[in-house]
Amino acid sequence: MIIVLQKEATEKQLQDIVDKIKGYGLEPHVIVGVARTVIGLVGDKQGLEPRVFEGMPGVEKAVPIMAPYKLASRDAKAEDTLIRVGDTLIGGGELIYMAGPCAVESREQILETAYAVKEAGASILRGGAFKPRTSPYSFQGLGETGLQYLAEAGQAAGLLTVSEVVDPSDVDLVSKYVDILQIGARNMQNFALLRRVGQTRKPVLLKRGLSATIEEWLMAAEYIMSEGNYQVILCERGIRTFETATRNTLDVGAIALVRQLSHLPVVADPSHATGRRDLVVPAGCAAVAAGAQGLLVEVHPNPDAALSDGAQSLTPKQFEQMVGAVAQVAKSVTPEPTKYWWNRNAV
């Protein structure tokens, strides 16, 4: 259930409602939107009627949410969530690029990439330090040293940073160095990890699992949000299908649908979705046309020598060209939110 407050509700009224919710043994989540404040109720609400709250001063209405995900649902918050990190606004009108190598390999490599992607228009530098590799014999990342290089490069080039955390016990360490915590596809249902990043106040980039349904993906976001961290960015990175010609299958429809179902920002990763350098630009264009608010792109100064994911990595020059190509698509996507085709009321 969510409780929608009246626009003029006071702090005292809000507190009274929060206390009442707690009195039922439930956990209130206060979500302050631009247009309205809502309180999400999480916990076992069996038998609790909306009218228990509807008579209270400051309450406009109490509505049950049918979807299994509550805090992540558009019903809980009609307007898009904006996530501000430094000067960068994720989920706003501007397309955001998170770019960089699959893995941080050396100080020089990440510094060179950082300057190049910044120049091309990226605002966030990506680079894995803890790599979830399919084979235990493949390069596993530089660990904390990699995070240090990433943080240094981000600072030097004026970029925010994002890196994956694979173990709940590393969350504090990774948080020390990066602006955004990445949960990889293989860990989308690692519930202990989701809860742990939910206890931080760092934005979380939540990749869709290899074979996760949209509902499972949003439930993973709910795990993070239910711990009080509402800054979740959803990332469509391709799912596993019968097709083997591409590494994964970019689920373009999911991007448009998730924009309808959730208020959270949605980005796409055309690199892991395709696994092929020559498909990264068309897939990125398609994702943006479907409503992606940002792209995560693997860029390496020398892709052929990359220690991981070289085949899908763009050179800095190719990335620069990509930004230009995608901008053409972004321009043709209507900037008026009320006319977006993922706004249910517009269809």
**Residue ranges binding ligand PEP (CB under 6 A):** 102, 128, 132, 184-186, 207, 237, 269, 272
Residue 28 or 128: the one with the smaller Cβ distance to Mn ion is 128
Residue 80's binding partner out of Mn ion, ligand PEP, none, with CB under 5 to 8 Å set by partner kind: none
CA atoms within a 13 Å half-sphere pointing along the CA-CB vector of 50 = 13
Residue 132 or 228: the one with the smaller Cβ distance to ligand PEP is 132
Nearest Cα residue to 293 out of 318, 324, 320, 256: 256
> In the structure encoding, which two tokens stand for residue 135, read together?
């084979």
List all residues 6 or more positions away from 209 whose beta carbon is below 8 Å from its beta carbon: 185, 186, 188, 189, 216, 217, 220, 239
Q: How far is the CB of 269 from ligand PEP (least distance, A)?
A: 6
Q: How far is the CB of 177 from Mn ion (least distance, A)?
A: 19
Residue nearest to ligand PEP (CB): 184
Residue 91 or 128: the one with the smaller Cβ distance to Mn ion is 128
Residue 309 contacts Mn ion per CB under 5 A: yes
Q: How far is the CB of 10 from ligand PEP (least distance, A)?
A: 45
Q: How many CB atoms lie within 10 A of CB 241?
A: 11
Write out the binding residues for Mn ion, residues 94-133 only, by CB under 5 A: 102
Q: How far is the CB of 263 from ligand PEP (least distance, A)?
A: 23
Count of H-run helices and E-run strands, the chain: 11, 14
Residue 107's binding partner out of Mn ion, ligand PEP, none, with CB under 5 to 8 Å set by partner kind: none
Q: How far is the CB of 174 from ligand PEP (least distance, A)?
A: 14
Strand order in the sheet with 59-63: 27-32, 37-42, 2-5, 59-63
Residue 29's binding partner out of Mn ion, ligand PEP, none, with CB under 5 to 8 Å set by partner kind: none
DSSP element (H, E) containing 41: strand 37-42
Torsion, CA 105, CA 88, CA 236, CA 332, rounded to 10: -120
The contact set with Mn ion (CB under 5 A) reads: 102, 309
